[in-house]
Amino acid sequence: MRQIKLAYRDNDRTPVIFCIQEMARKHYDLEIRVLQIQGTADYEAALFAGSCDVLIEHLEYLFVNAEKRAPVTLFCAPSIRRGAELVVSPRINRLEDLKGETMTVRSSGRPHTIALWLRAMGLEEDVRTVVVKDGEVGRWGQWKKVSSGDSAATFMDPIYLLPALAAGLKVLPVHDIEVVGHFAQACLSRYPAENPELFRDYVKAVIHALCLIKFQRESALEISAGEPMRLMGIQDLAEMSRQFDCIARELQIRPYPTLEALRNSHEVAAVEYGAGELNPLTFWDLHWIKELDDEGFIDALIKKLRA
């Protein structure tokens, strides 16, 4: 069977990844070898070192590395939102209440997106931000600074939300900004050129997985309740179901990025990684998705899986 090595870093990605793997095996005669690469240095070197064929993760660091090492292609964006919830102190009831307050910001996971959000909300000059590492409070534990009264708000991945709510904090519904999100994918530009049919079938498997997650929840959840559930350290099926729904909610079936998402992601790359003044479109090639879309492949999948 033909094979693609797919690498990722955080186990939060595995429900989508293992659905891709199953759709590739079942429908496209394609084996996806799933590789977790945890260390930041090793992860960021993986594509250039030949450790993998495709990456699925945050990819802004590639904007710098591609200039120095090898041309890189980003080819799909299943999520174009941060998908984070604004968690606030009980005394905060509206955005205006954040003026003059402090917001705790997680040091990893593209912290500059918080500055982008504050700017979009007109709060950039009115809210002080303090960066807190996971090592100080635990993974996604920045809510503890809100609970203690050290700050008034923080953004959280909804997967990790329950302890914050149990501590008496609340979610303040707010408008999100667009950014190329968790499940974007990249490869070396030469890889699809050298493996055109293989790569096209891989893109088909990605879109098939997105449709499965959206339209056949129980089948996709069954896949996620296997190895992904173990890797995510979840013991309870109800909790796996909740986290699966949090992930599924942010996915789009036609994985095109928007101009706003591209612009914001490029600013993150410039601020956090020192990316130069490159046109963000330089890195994107959406023709595989566009061809499949124009051919009716996506519409046919939607019709089939909705039936």
Summarised one tens digit per residue, pLDDT across range 97-128 is 999 999 999 998 889 999 999 999 999 999 99
- Sequence spans of domains, the chain: 2-80+180-306, 85-171
Mode of pairing for the β-strands spanning 72-76 and 85-88 = unpaired
DSSP readout, 110-152? -THHHHHHHHHTT-TTT-EEEEE-HHHH-TT-THHHHHTTS-S
As a whole number, the mean pLDDT across the chain is 94
* Tens digit of each residue's pLDDT (9 = 90 or more) over 26-71: 999 999 999 999 888 899 999 999 999 999 988 888 887 666 678 9
Residues 85-171: name the CATH superfamily: Periplasmic binding protein-like II (3.40.190.10)
Percent of the chain with pLDDT over 90: 85
pLDDT attached to residue 167:
98
**Comparing 109 with 298, which gets the higher pLDDT?**
298
pLDDT for residue 31: 98
Q: Give 156: exposed, middle or buried? Use CB within 10 Å, 0-12, 13-18, 19+.
A: buried
Residue 252's closest CA among 296, 304, 203, 209? 209
Q: Which of 106, 99, 98 is nearest to 145 (CA)?
A: 106
CATH number of 2-80+180-306: 3.40.190.10
Write down the pTM of the prediction: 0.93
Tens of pLDDT, residues 67-105: 667 899 999 999 998 889 999 999 999 999 999 999 999
- pLDDT above 80 (res 264): yes
pLDDT tens per residue across span 161-219: 999 999 999 999 999 999 998 899 999 999 999 999 999 999 999 999 999 999 999 99
85-171 and 2-80+180-306 share a CATH fold: yes
